[in-house]
Amino acid sequence: MDAVRPGCGTVDETWCLVVEDGEDLDRVIESLTCVADGVVGTRGVREEQRDPAIAPVVVSGLYEPATGVGEQLVQLPSWCVLPLGPDLPRGRHVLDLRSGVLVRQVSSGDRVVVDALRFASAARPGVSVLRAAVATSALVAPPASRPALLRRTPSGGGVVAVETTGVHGLGEGDGATTVVERVVVHQVETRRAPSEAYARARLAAAVGAGPDRLLEEHRRVWARRWEVADVEVDGDPEATLAVRFALFHLLSSTSTRRAESAVGARGLTGPAYAGHVFWDTEVFALPVLAAIEPAAARAVLEYRLRRLAPALARAAAEGRRGARFPWESAGDGTDVTPRSGVDQHGHQVPILTGDLEEHVTADVAWAVWRYVAWTRDDAFLAGPGGRLLVETARYWPSRARVDEAGRAHIDGVIGPDEYHERVDDDAFTNLMARWNLRRAAELVAATTGRDERRRGAPTAPTGPTGGGWRVDGDEAAAWTRLADALIDGVDPSTGRHEQFAGYDRLEPLLATSLGPVPVAADLVLGRQRLEHSQVIKQADVVMAHMLVPDEAGPGSLAADLDYYLPRTAHGSSLSPAVHAYVLARAGRTADALAMLRLAAAIDLEDLTETTAGGLHLANLGGIWQAVVHGFGGVLPGSAGHDELVIDPHLPDGWDELRLGVRWRGVPVRLRLRRDGAHVACPAPVVVAVAGGRQRIEPPGRWVR
């Protein structure tokens, strides 16, 4: 077994997550220790698991009909279970983030009863391996392979799982050990029937390579990933582990190999929210991928592109133009938000987000822009990415209302703060719509200018399907006019945004008066009182400062933070990391660090008691963004500028922040300190530090 030990021989607390098996904690541990390869996620179900675990294995992009939630991610039984006897003592899991390997050890006195290692091959997605040495006396039957498993879905796709279990004995008598080597292949197809013959051929190739070589390949892929993306905080091992843990699960839940990647709210770590895709994917996970694994970000955008037709159809059915993306999306891209849920008193309550939480449409556009900012994938912007920007922008003029004074309003929405429903002029929604309109208009202007120069005639690229789009200058000019007319809620007397029309007149209740945050204010106050109070669920106005700071009222950042932070319950896991980011940008680094710790605790300490259903992927993306964009100040320059901005705001105790990104295809490693930054790059890059642009030649240098 030594040949397959992970890097945790001596456990490095910044690379390894160590969890002791504990009563009632199984479901949480299963989420924390999930191993996934972007296609198949295997939760850390114990090898001796007997009670029915929840969704031991989930399969990306495959949805099946499910009561109450429309569609849910396909779930399969665990392939890691061994026929172990009932009185096994509890053990511990060690998840080695560096090599992507989960080790489980169970000891009885001096004797190791189970010493198991598993991984989901990053080198061969769909191939997973379990290698376990178990005390022969603990086995109640010889370990054997399960027969092939086939699941089909209404999309015509499906998954077939085939496996081989090799068994051999070591030693004799009381000390005898049985070594089990199991290799499994999950062959997943989203649009056609999976082929068992192909799965068997892959299995034969994997078994031929053997567990040692499979592990070596797998570790090499993770080593390459970390070479680009690792984040380390000198002076704060806790923050280092939190951000590595976030990166590990984000990269595990997304794919660089598939054309399209459906990333649900819990990634591949669990079944909560039925694996539905929310805005979480575009504004929390995608920014991380765009900066370090652009192919995975592109696959995330492809998921929306392939569901543009239902988004166009929905807008048309509602009498609008352009595209309206669904609040919750699954297989076919129609809205699958449940229409009702059950509250704490057992009463049925309507869920209105599917009808009213419309900012997701602009969020999709924002993700296109963010991807292009990191990659300069101009062909994507000129083709299908541009189409997403244009069709989303087209939605807003048909959705907005212009009053007699010429001011534009968006009525009857839900913003990120879901405690207040059917509100008018939600500042976040309006700012995002405004941003969407302006970027699309700029794109049309840039494209038309380029085409004029090239051909002497004003045209925009067109095409029969996803890739093409055509906009005439009058339509684009109307977008700019609407953007200028949209109400943004800035009150000149306070210098801050009013979250929505009438918010300031609500009961001036602070979330902090309800108890320590995070607090589920809906449970404490009840829906009725809550909606008439100023307590908000999560970052709303503050979120706009994170996504579209140039759209927010100049100078409003401090006033908005001062006002909204004490009113925020952080009743959504998305909230603390957003605050960490924005507080860091505002220079309030001690408060930002406290928020970062809260964000880290959400899953690592199961702070909201919801981690059993899977890790909160948006929070994980938020943690990385808070560290890299918030504290590091590392971001693409604003539109039209080709430099990577570096503007660190480090909290006390952080001596140096080391991180990596891919800037326009070049892997750049940064060491950020209070007095300067070191930029290491294998090809020239342009950076902006303290407002000054500098060209950095390889291998790099300090900039101050």
**Which uninterrupted H or E stretch holds 604?**
helix 589-604
Q: How far is the CB of 336 from ligand IFM (least distance, A)?
A: 13
Residue facing ligand IFM at closest CB distance? 278
Report the residue from 222, 278, 325, 369 that binds ligand IFM according to the rule CB under 6 A: 278
- Return the number of other C-beta atoms located less than 10 Å from residue 693's C-beta: 13
Is 400 one of the binding residues for ligand IFM (CB under 6 A)?
A: no
- In sequence order, the β-bridge partners of residue 523 are none
Q: How far is the CB of 189 from ligand IFM (least distance, A)?
A: 27
Cβ closest to ligand IFM, residue 160 vs residue 598: 598
Cα–Cα distance, 261 to 253 (Å, whole number)? 9
Report the residue from 114, 265, 569, 668 that binds ligand IFM according to the rule CB under 6 A: 265
Q: Considering only the stretches 127-135, 136-144, 276-284, 679-687, report the one whose residues sit in contact with ligand IFM under the rule CB under 6 A.
A: 276-284
Q: Dig out the tokens for 265 from the structure.
A: 């709210």
Cβ closest to ligand IFM, residue 265 vs residue 593: 265
Handedness of CA 693, 557, 554, 425 (dihedral sign): positive
Cβ closest to ligand IFM, residue 30 vs residue 280: 280
Q: How far is the CB of 332 from ligand IFM (least distance, A)?
A: 20
- Asked whether the bond before 554 is cis by omega within 30 degrees of 0, the reply is no
**Which uninterrupted H or E stretch holds 185?**
strand 177-189
Q: Which of 232, 357, 391, 418 is catalytic?
A: 418
Q: Considering only the stretches 34-42, 254-262, 273-281, 525-533, report the one whose residues sit in contact with ligand IFM under the rule CB under 6 A.
A: 273-281
Q: How far is the CB of 97 from ligand IFM (least distance, A)?
A: 23
Report the residue from 15, 226, 279, 380 that binds ligand IFM according to the rule CB under 6 A: 279
Binding to ligand IFM (CB under 6 A) within 114-153 occurs at none
| Sequence-distant contacts of 6-13: CB under 8 A, at least 24 apart | 6/94, 6/96, 6/98, 6/99, 6/101, 6/103, 6/117, 7/96, 7/98, 7/99, 8/94, 8/96, 8/103, 11/94, 12/98, 13/237, 13/241
Q: Considering only the stretches 77-85, 278-286, 396-404, 463-471, report the one whose residues sit in contact with ligand IFM under the rule CB under 6 A.
A: 278-286
Q: Considering only the stretches 4-12, 35-43, 271-279, 634-642, report the one whose residues sit in contact with ligand IFM under the rule CB under 6 A.
A: 271-279
Residues with Cβ < 8 Å from 535, sequence gap 6 or more? 419, 509, 510, 511, 514, 521, 525, 567, 568, 569
Cβ closest to ligand IFM, residue 206 vs residue 246: 246
Report the residue from 222, 245, 248, 273 that binds ligand IFM according to the rule CB under 6 A: 273
Asked if 52 contacts 319 with a C-beta cutoff of 8 angstroms, the reply is no
| Residue with tokens 């890691």, as numbered in its chain | 80
Residue of 291, 275, 258 whose CA lies nearest to 38? 258
- Return the number of other C-beta atoms located less than 10 Å from residue 167's C-beta: 14
Binding residues for ligand IFM, how many (CB under 6 A)?
Answer: 9
Whether 418 is catalytic is yes
**Which uninterrupted H or E stretch holds 73?**
strand 70-76
Residue of 544, 535, 587 whose CA lies nearest to 564? 535
Asked if 663 contacts 641 with a C-beta cutoff of 8 angstroms, the reply is no
> In whole angstroms, how far apart are CA 79 and each of 4, 41, 146, 156, 206?
19, 11, 8, 24, 16
Cα–Cα distance, 32 to 260 (Å, whole number)? 25
Is 572 one of the binding residues for ligand IFM (CB under 6 A)?
A: yes
Asked if 300 contacts 372 with a C-beta cutoff of 8 angstroms, the reply is no
Handedness of CA 13, 19, 25, 28 (dihedral sign): positive
Is 574 one of the binding residues for ligand IFM (CB under 6 A)?
A: yes
Cβ closest to ligand IFM, residue 385 vs residue 416: 416
Q: How far is the CB of 280 from ligand IFM (least distance, A)?
A: 5
Cβ closest to ligand IFM, residue 187 vs residue 538: 538
- In sequence order, the β-bridge partners of residue 159 are 151, 188
Cβ closest to ligand IFM, residue 247 vs residue 574: 574
Report the residue from 96, 163, 280, 417 that binds ligand IFM according to the rule CB under 6 A: 280
Is 575 one of the binding residues for ligand IFM (CB under 6 A)?
A: no
Q: How far is the CB of 479 from ligand IFM (least distance, A)?
A: 27
Cα–Cα distance, 585 to 630 (Å, whole number)? 5
Cα–Cα distance, 280 to 390 (Å, whole number)? 22
Q: How far is the CB of 600 from ligand IFM (least distance, A)?
A: 17
Q: How far is the CB of 328 from ligand IFM (least distance, A)?
A: 8
**N-to-C CA span, the chain:** 49
Q: How far is the CB of 272 from ligand IFM (least distance, A)?
A: 9
In this structure, the dihedral spanned by the alpha carbons of residues 601, 603, 604 and 605, taken in order and rounded to 10 degrees, is: 60
- In sequence order, the β-bridge partners of residue 486 are 408
- Asked whether the bond before 52 is cis by omega within 30 degrees of 0, the reply is no
Q: How far is the CB of 207 from ligand IFM (least distance, A)?
A: 39
**Which uninterrupted H or E stretch holds 222?**
helix 196-229
Q: How far is the CB of 659 from ligand IFM (least distance, A)?
A: 25
Cβ closest to ligand IFM, residue 88 vs residue 539: 539
Specify the 3-state DSSP secondary structure of 272: helix
Q: Dig out the tokens for 273 from the structure.
A: 């929210």
Q: For helices 556-564 and 575-585, what crossing angle results, to 10°?
A: 140
Cβ closest to ligand IFM, residue 236 vs residue 522: 522
Q: Considering only the stretches 274-282, 314-322, 337-345, 466-474, report the one whose residues sit in contact with ligand IFM under the rule CB under 6 A.
A: 274-282
Cα–Cα distance, 600 to 32 (Å, whole number)? 12
- In sequence order, the β-bridge partners of residue 658 are 232, 671
Cβ closest to ligand IFM, residue 179 vs residue 520: 520
Binding to ligand IFM (CB under 6 A) within 596-625 occurs at 618
Binding to ligand IFM (CB under 6 A) within 409-468 occurs at 416
Is 389 one of the binding residues for ligand IFM (CB under 6 A)?
A: no
Cβ closest to ligand IFM, residue 264 vs residue 489: 264
Q: How far is the CB of 568 from ligand IFM (least distance, A)?
A: 13
Cβ closest to ligand IFM, residue 123 vs residue 623: 623
Residue of 474, 456, 304 whose CA lies nearest to 391? 304
Q: How far is the CB of 616 from ligand IFM (least distance, A)?
A: 7
Cβ closest to ligand IFM, residue 276 vs residue 370: 276
φ, ψ at 590 (rounded to 5°)? -70, -45
Q: Considering only the stretches 87-95, 96-104, 275-283, 561-569, report the one whose residues sit in contact with ligand IFM under the rule CB under 6 A.
A: 275-283
Annotated active-site positions, please? Answer: 418
| Residues lying near ligand IFM in the complex (CB under 6 A) | 265, 273, 278-280, 416, 572, 574, 618
